[in-house]
């Protein structure tokens, strides 16, 4: 995992949380901070440099809203397969440009990559395996139920209630509540159908 915006307040805090959960964070990116380290993670000036050095295949974005669209496209151009944009308040125009950039690359590659999740989302959590974003790991447990929601807070509540009912989760995914998002319910359903560990799916929000 590459953390874009790792030296910012949110990026630094959640990098520590993701590492503690067991996520393999191999690089951070902050222009001008290349050559430094944070929480033992090397920082690079660009995603391309980070990928070349670490062969990372996923990125999580914590950069300020005015720069989030560019950060998404930078990750896609660097060959990142999964891009998770946590940032809220991204201008819709910026998201549209980034969305089409990612979609065009995915069509060109023909392998379903890159995939964008968000923006304005809590990310995803594979209980006991990895955390990409801001979901609290302690409320989840491994199991067969996939969870998809547009609302971050509702995601946490449902995951907590599933865990209390002894219904573990395969992956918990917050797709974001903005008008334009990179992954919708139909995309998520297709991914869960291809996952042998998922036996049931809990959807929260409007599908149409």
pLDDT beyond 80 at 152: yes
**Region class of 122: left (phi > 0), else alpha (psi between -120 and 50), else beta:** alpha
pLDDT beyond 60 at 87: yes
Judging by beta carbons within 10 Å of its beta carbon (0-12, 13-18, 19+), is residue 41 exposed, middle or buried?
buried
CA distances from 152 to 25, 59, 124 (A): 23, 19, 10
pLDDT beyond 90 at 206: no
pLDDT beyond 60 at 86: yes
Angstrom distance (rounded) from CA 156 to CA 172: 9
39-49 pLDDT, tens digit per residue, is 999 999 999 99
Residue of higher predicted confidence among 132 and 177: 132
With H, G, I as helix, E, B as strand and everything else as coil, classify residue 121. Answer: coil
pLDDT beyond 50 at 82: yes
pLDDT beyond 50 at 208: no
| Whether this model's pTM surpasses 0.75 | yes
Give the pLDDT mean for 58-64.
Answer: 98
Looking at the chain, the whole-number percentage of residues with pLDDT higher than 90 is 94
pLDDT beyond 80 at 81: yes
pLDDT beyond 60 at 207: no
pLDDT bracket for residue 127 (50, 70, 90): very high
pLDDT bracket for residue 122 (50, 70, 90): very high
Give the pLDDT mean for 4-19.
Answer: 98
């Amino acid at each position: 995992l590459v953390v874009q915006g790792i030296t910012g307040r949110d990026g630094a805090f959640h990098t520590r949380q993701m590492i503690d959960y067991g996520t393999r964070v191999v690089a951070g990116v902050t222009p001008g901070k290349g050559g430094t380290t944070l929480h033992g993670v090397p920082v690079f000036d660009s995603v391309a440099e980070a990928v070349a050095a670490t062969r990372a295949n996923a990125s999580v974005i914590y950069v300020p809203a005015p720069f989030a669209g560019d950060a998404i496209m930078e990750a896609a151009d660097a060959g990142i397969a999964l891009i998770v944009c946590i940032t809220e308040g991204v201008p819709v125009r910026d998201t549209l440009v980034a969305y089409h950039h990612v979609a065009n690359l995915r069509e060109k590659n023909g392998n379903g990559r890159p995939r964008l999740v968000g923006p304005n989302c809590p990310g995803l959590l594979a209980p006991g395996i990895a955390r990409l974003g801001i979901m609290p790991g302690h409320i989840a447990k491994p199991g067969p139920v996939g969870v998809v929601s547009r609302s971050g807070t509702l995601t946490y509540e449902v995951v907590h209630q599933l865990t209390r009912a002894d219904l573990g989760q395969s992956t918990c995914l917050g797709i974001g509540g903005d008008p334009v998002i990179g992954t919708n319910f139909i995309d998520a359903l297709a991914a869960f159908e291809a996952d042998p560990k998922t036996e049931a799916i809990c959807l929260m929000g409007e599908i149409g």
